Structure 1
Amino acid sequence: MRSLCSVQQKIPCVFLTEVKEEESRKRACQQYQVVATEGLNPAALQADVDCALATEKLDGTCCYVTVYKGRPYLWARLDRKPNKQAEKRFKKYQHSHRSCEGFKWNADNDFKTVPETWIPAHRVRHHNGHPLPDEHGHTPGWVPVEKDNKQYCWHSSVVDYEVGAALILRPSAEDEDVLEVAAVPLAELLEQTLELIGTNVNGNPYGLGSKKHPVHFLVSHGTIQIRNPPPVDFQQLRSWFQGSPEGRVEGIVWHCADGTLVKVHRHHLGLRWPDGDSCFSDRMAVVCVDSVTGEYADLQDLFSSFSALKGRCFSRLQDIRFDP
């Protein structure tokens, strides 16, 4: 498989965008929305997006695997944001200048406190040793997922630090149309970014698990490829999302050869999400959690639950259920 790019920064739209003063389809209480125009983003053209690898954009929360306390650890996305006073000053500047260029941040006083373990994402710019925010005033970063942190309990459910493994959902080596659930050593995932999806993430658009028996997985970014993707053209992409069985996805992320990432989301094109069953949740799935089965003594543990289903094949991913 070709080399894939990790998701450390906000991915720009493959098209040039504009802001419309109307209620957002994506975020409640947001009275504007960002929509795509028909013009291609110059960054996408420069990166030769027509030759890029098109992959499915999954609807979850971004994670990262890197070293913490001397061993591979799962990290959750946490952006450092401005405090109320700085946010007010920033918006006032934007309104008066019709741009955020030239705005000066105070690194010591303008931002909310983040945990001491927080690290900035790759390629975040620094000035005098301080990480600088992006154009929205946010500094993307990561915090390690500790088992005793209830805020990240669903992240914790997919990792076992005692055996150094993570629950991964990936295409089967035998048949790429089939998804497999596997326990993968965290060491094999070092420096990758992944998407956490499941019952308690982003409204569960894939219909996974239940309130009584939640189901969560990690999916490495770029591993769910889109076969025969449409050309990178506004009207053809919109038609593909609306009419193609393969178009029942949240969006597309293109991995360009030079490391550039660009995306398009259904909301960019004025389309709903979710909108019925997704292509991803309709895929066949097989459970292959067996490499460290003997380590799992807690019957409520997600690893134990999946290891009990070892070898089971489900006609649809969303049909995976644990026995009561």
Structure 2
Amino acid sequence: MRRLGSVQQKISCVFLTEVKNEPSTKREYQKFRVLATETLNPKVLESDIQSAVPTEKLDGTCCYVSAYKGKPYLWARLDKKPNKQTEKRFKTFQHSTKGSEAFVWNVKEDFRSVPESWIFAHGVTQCNGYPQPDENGHIPGWVPVENDNKQYCWHSSVVNYEIGAALVLRPHTEHQELLEITTVPLHELLEQTLELIGTNINANPYGLGSKKQPIHLLVSHGVLEIQSAPAVNYQQLLGWFQGCEEGKVEGIVWHCSDGTLIKLHRHHLGLRWPVEDPFLNSRPVLVNVDVTQYECDFIPKSLFTTFSEFNGRQFDHLKDICFE
């Protein structure tokens, strides 16, 4: 079994957190809230967060590009999770333990089955050659997105393996305030993680497309840099999220020079998400998709052909793109 997709060192909150015994505003099934205190997590100072690059955290689903069947492929995130019996036992343990003991896993028997093509992510702890679950009881991993798998039809809509390209949303190379929807060769995205956003992903906070004509796009992690990020201070960050147009985002991910990723979610500050008119929708977007350059028989009404019909057209907002 090989490893794929780096699980970088991640710090889930820039501040130390505390647990409140009240229902989560982020996850309906969660009976507690994790809120940030005003104390910086000492680990973020070790990673030199002051010199890190702040980027917008997008609300989508994580993807990865790596080789499969001898060519670049899109991979979807699929964590290996405990079966029902083990999950019940694990939750009982979590509520009863005082932290002086560790939960004992049987990796061969305690987890739900996954496709044969599933592989665990690089960086996952191993014991005797077997991947070990994280603190949530999950083993992070990936499955290749194949065109005949209906479970990942929205992933499939943004890639074309015949031409070896993906539909990507990114800042325009010459005008950073302008967004661009374009095709990017998959080999240029190798070993990158990306976020899939769109109509049928996480209740579509960005208002993309419609039920009749869904729109989905890939966005490379770290590509949407925040230009006016405040100092890493609780009150300044709170004020930025509440009062700044650029602060209408799900969160911030700081990319540190040592590879560490440090996150801050609006929910950590007790703020709601989604918000009306998120920042991603405030920027103009140019469509730069031309399928005539490829010798390929595209599926009628695919996203590639539909966007190609709008090639060269600029929209004031992402949500203004309508194919109907």
Task: Give the TM-score of the pair, scaled to structure 2.
Answer: 0.95
Q: Distance in 1 between matches of 2:244 and 2:202?
A: 24
Q: Which residue of 2 aligns with 1:84?
A: 84
Q: Which amino acid aligns with 2:273?
A: W
Shift of the 50–147 alpha-carbon distance from structure 1 to 2, 3 Å rule, reads: same
Name the SS of the counterpart of 1:281 in structure 2: helix
Residue range with higher mean Cα deviation, 281-290 or 190-199? 281-290
Q: Per-residue deviation at 1:298?
A: 2.7
Q: Which residue of 1 aligns with 2:175?
A: 175
Name the SS of the counterpart of 1:299 in structure 2: coil
Q: Which residue of 1 aligns with 2:319?
A: 318
Q: Which residue of 2 aligns with 1:118?
A: 118
Q: Distance in 1 between matches of 2:272 and 2:72?
A: 38
Q: Which residue of 2 aligns with 1:44?
A: 44
Q: Which residue of 2 aligns with 1:301?
A: 302
Q: Which amino acid aligns with 1:93?
A: F
Q: Which residue of 1 aligns with 2:136?
A: 136
Q: Distance in 2 between matches of 1:255 and 1:215?
A: 28
**Deviations 1:257-295 (CA, angstroms, capped at 9, x unpaired):** 100001000001000101211010121000011264553
Q: Per-residue deviation at 1:10?
A: 6.0
Q: How does 1:1-324 map to 2 (within 5 A)?
A: 11-99=11-99, 102-290=102-290, 292=293, 295-322=296-323, 324=324
> Contact conserved, 1:147 with 1:156, CA < 8 A, in 2?
yes
Residue range with higher mean Cα deviation, 201-210 or 11-20? 11-20
Q: Distance in 2 between matches of 1:186 and 1:312?
A: 24
Shift of the 283–192 alpha-carbon distance from structure 1 to 2, 3 Å rule, reads: same
- Unaligned segments of structure 1, at least 5 residues: none
**Deviations 1:140-184 (CA, angstroms, capped at 9, x unpaired):** 110000111111000000000111100000000110110000111
Q: Which amino acid aligns with 1:39?
A: T
Q: Distance in 2 between matches of 1:14 and 1:49?
A: 9
The count of aligned residue pairs is 319
Percent identity (aligned): 63
**Deviations 1:163-221 (CA, angstroms, capped at 9, x unpaired):** 11000000001101100001111000000000000011000000011111111100000
Q: Per-residue deviation at 1:93?
A: 2.1
> Contact conserved, 1:6 with 1:221, CA < 8 A, in 2?
no
Q: Which amino acid aligns with 2:135?
A: E
Task: Give the TM-score of the pair, scaled to structure 1.
Answer: 0.95
Name the SS of the counterpart of 2:94 in structure 1: helix
> Contact conserved, 1:8 with 1:121, CA < 8 A, in 2?
no
Q: Distance in 2 between matches of 1:258 and 1:128?
A: 28
Name the SS of the counterpart of 1:311 in structure 2: coil
- Unaligned segments of structure 2, at least 5 residues: none
Q: Over aligned residue pairs, what C-alpha RMSD do you find?
A: 1.6
Name the SS of the counterpart of 1:235 in structure 2: helix
Shift of the 52–100 alpha-carbon distance from structure 1 to 2, 3 Å rule, reads: farther
Q: Distance in 2 between matches of 1:212 and 1:296?
A: 23
Shift of the 94–132 alpha-carbon distance from structure 1 to 2, 3 Å rule, reads: same
Name the SS of the counterpart of 1:16 in structure 2: strand
Shift of the 202–7 alpha-carbon distance from structure 1 to 2, 3 Å rule, reads: farther
> Contact conserved, 2:7 with 2:121, CA < 8 A, in 1?
no
Q: Distance in 1 between matches of 2:7 and 2:109?
A: 28
Q: Distance in 1 between matches of 2:304 and 2:67?
A: 22
